[in-house]
Chains A and B, each alone.
Chain A
Amino acid sequence: MGLMPYKMDLHIHTALSPCAQKEMTPPKIIHAARAKGLHLIAVTDHNTAENVQATIEAARGSGIFVIPGMEVQTREEVHLICLFPSISACMSWQDTVYKNLPDLINRPEVFGAQPVVDSTGQTVRELDRMLLISTNMTVESTAAGVTDLGGICIPAHVDRPSYSLISALGFIPEDLPIQAVELSRHISTEEASLTMPQLNKHCHISSSDAHCLQDVGINPTILFCARRPNFDDVKNALGSNSGRKVLAKVKDLSMHIIDIVQNSIEAGATKVELEILEDAVHDSFTIGIADNGRGMDIETAAKAIDPFFTTRKTRRVGLGLPLLKAAAERCEGSLILDSAPGKGTSLRATFRHSHIDRAPLGNIIDTIINLIVSNPDLDLYFHHKANDKEVVFNAHELREQLEDVPLNNPAVINWIKNYLADSYKELGAGNW
């Protein structure tokens, strides 16, 4: 049976979370989820599940599957996403959590309101108990309790400095029964793999952690499934040993291109050739970038592919090459770097076009515009060939025609944008 991709967002707050917007009512969340093309969401308020039932009711007939859940704050100040196979398992878990919450009353003027709502979004009552506080449960007892109820436990936003398993406890305790780790919208799965190798033992998911409607579904995970997924499909996919079935946010190839061209410019390049080749016959996707910058000697070039090498001291921007290399190698491809002092640097990254992990090219038109606006004097030659069709842009030629008008003149930029958009229409939207 063929697997189809389904979009899921397993970390969404409702208005009941005091830090969430009042607009986060069940019907509006479901509407936003549909608009974003999600198939499956989880409702995860802080230390409570009292709006889960209403959201499940609001989702009836919408085609969106709602997983009952909660974001628990443990004694160590770690946030754990807890997901359950049924509303009854979730409410039974809520009893456990309430018994372990300190008996404090919320102060809405300080922390925000905590409305329990119905499926139409009407407030039924205000929840008095203070939710934004640690329970008395440990990371271990929470994960074990959720597992005993047939649920799934996922440490939330492990890349963040606050309320994350890694910031609070330094590293993931061994044998903790977790099914995945959640990456925030601030990091892609490749960056996480390189900067936090300890995460590689676990399945990655990405979620929105939405507290307002416009964030719903912004950082989805793709689940590959033979049918419209339900809770069991998510659980099986996260725990799958036979081939990965879950794909967290990957970095668009356009973003890789921006990083690499930025490297060229910082290496003093005045000319950059960017070539994208898509070949259906050989199932290949190739990115070639060549510059006339100062180039690197053999040792520096070898180090540049190493994730922990950077010539800059403070900013963490030296990851461009290693990230592109990792992305290519994950797709049965490779990255070849050719550089010599005084000769410039050229690289060629190849991917298997149809590979499940190959990131989309992303918005290449905006990428090119972005490069021109920030580097109007750069001789950028861009060539995108998809099978027998192609898009070409040559900054040097255009500049000669324009004489004294700079390329970043708004009218010129607008013209380039329209020119690229028209060219891409001919290339066919399906290719990129």
Chain B
Amino acid sequence: MMKLPNLIQELEAQVKCCEASLDRDVSWCYCSDLLSDVMANAAKDSIWITLQTHPNIVAVASLIGLSAILISRGAVPDPETLEKARQENVVILTTKLPTFEAAGILYKLLS
């Protein structure tokens, strides 16, 4: 279990919204670009790494109670996605790292 701000630093990630809500615990990580799969298999309080930038990612994160969404490989979230994330208080992060490298860093820190 780690605090979200420490992970953000290690991932060199940018916070795209909900800067005031970063005081969250992160227990694990889930990587998938199929939202139906994330809904079925991701655990609460995880970081979710994805390339999807569609507004539906916010609903999925909020439904499961994820700590944050990390959009990898420099992909840019849609403005509507960020708007929705602010409404739902879902933290969205971005990183230039591809999914494998971001997951590698998180695996070392969280396991």
Knowing A76-B52, A138-B54, A139-B54 touch, does A168 contact B78 (C-beta < 8 A)? no
- Which A-chain residue is minimally distant from B75 (CB atoms)? A75
* Assembled-state Cα–Cα distance A168/B57 (Å): 10
- Residues of A contacting B: mostly: loop
Find out whether the CB atom of A166 lies under 8 angstroms from the CB atom of B36. Answer: yes
Chain B stretch 21-45: residues in CB contact (< 8 A) with chain A: 33-39
Contact with B along A307-335 (1 / 0, CB 8 A): 00000000000000000000000000000
Find out whether the CB atom of B55 lies under 8 angstroms from the CB atom of A167. Answer: no
User: Does A77 touch B at the CB level, under 8 Å?
Assistant: yes
The interface residues of chain B lying within 8 Å CB-to-CB of A168 are 33-36, 52
Chain A stretch 338-393: residues in CB contact (< 8 A) with chain B: none
Q: Count chain A CB atoms within 10 A of each CB in B36, B53, B59 and give the residue with the most.
A: B36
Knowing A76-B52, A76-B54, A173-B54 touch, does A167 contact B59 (C-beta < 8 A)? no
* Assembled-state Cα–Cα distance A77/B54 (Å): 11
Find out whether the CB atom of B60 lies under 8 angstroms from the CB atom of A170. Answer: yes
A-B contact count (CB 8 A): 35
* Assembled-state Cα–Cα distance A139/B56 (Å): 11
- Nearest-neighbour CB distance to chain A for B53, whole angstroms, equals 8
The interface residues of chain A lying within 8 Å CB-to-CB of B60 are 170
- Which B-chain residue is minimally distant from A173 (CB atoms)? B56
Find out whether the CB atom of B56 lies under 8 angstroms from the CB atom of A77. Answer: no
User: Does A171 touch B at the CB level, under 8 Å?
Assistant: yes
* Assembled-state Cα–Cα distance A167/B37 (Å): 7
The interface residues of chain A lying within 8 Å CB-to-CB of B35 are 167-171
* Total chain A interface residues with beta-carbon distance under 8 A: 12
Chain A stretch 125-152: residues in CB contact (< 8 A) with chain B: 138-139
- Nearest-neighbour CB distance to chain B for A409, whole angstroms, equals 47
Knowing A170-B38, A173-B55, A173-B56 touch, does A77 contact B33 (C-beta < 8 A)? yes
- Nearest-neighbour CB distance to chain A for B36, whole angstroms, equals 5
- Nearest-neighbour CB distance to chain A for B29, whole angstroms, equals 19
Chain B stretch 53-76: residues in CB contact (< 8 A) with chain A: 53-56, 59-60
The interface residues of chain B lying within 8 Å CB-to-CB of A169 are 35-36, 52, 54, 56
The interface residues of chain B lying within 8 Å CB-to-CB of A170 are 35-36, 38-39, 56, 59-60
* Assembled-state Cα–Cα distance A169/B37 (Å): 9
* Assembled-state Cα–Cα distance A154/B78 (Å): 23
The interface residues of chain A lying within 8 Å CB-to-CB of B54 are 76, 138-139, 169, 173
- Which A-chain residue is minimally distant from B63 (CB atoms)? A170
The interface residues of chain B lying within 8 Å CB-to-CB of A138 are 54, 78
Q: Count chain B CB atoms within 10 A of each CB in A138, A169, A173 and give the residue with the most.
A: A169
* Assembled-state Cα–Cα distance A174/B70 (Å): 24
Find out whether the CB atom of A171 lies under 8 angstroms from the CB atom of B34. Answer: no
* Assembled-state Cα–Cα distance A168/B54 (Å): 10
The interface residues of chain B lying within 8 Å CB-to-CB of A75 are 53
The interface residues of chain A lying within 8 Å CB-to-CB of B39 are 170
- Nearest-neighbour CB distance to chain A for B19, whole angstroms, equals 26
Chain A stretch 166-188: residues in CB contact (< 8 A) with chain B: 166-171, 173
Chain A stretch 66-91: residues in CB contact (< 8 A) with chain B: 75-77
The interface residues of chain A lying within 8 Å CB-to-CB of B56 are 169-171, 173
> Which residues of B does A touch, CB under 8 Å?
33-39, 52-56, 59-60, 78
Pairs across A and B, CB under 8 Å, 6 listed: A138-B54, A167-B36, A167-B37, A168-B33, A170-B39, A173-B55
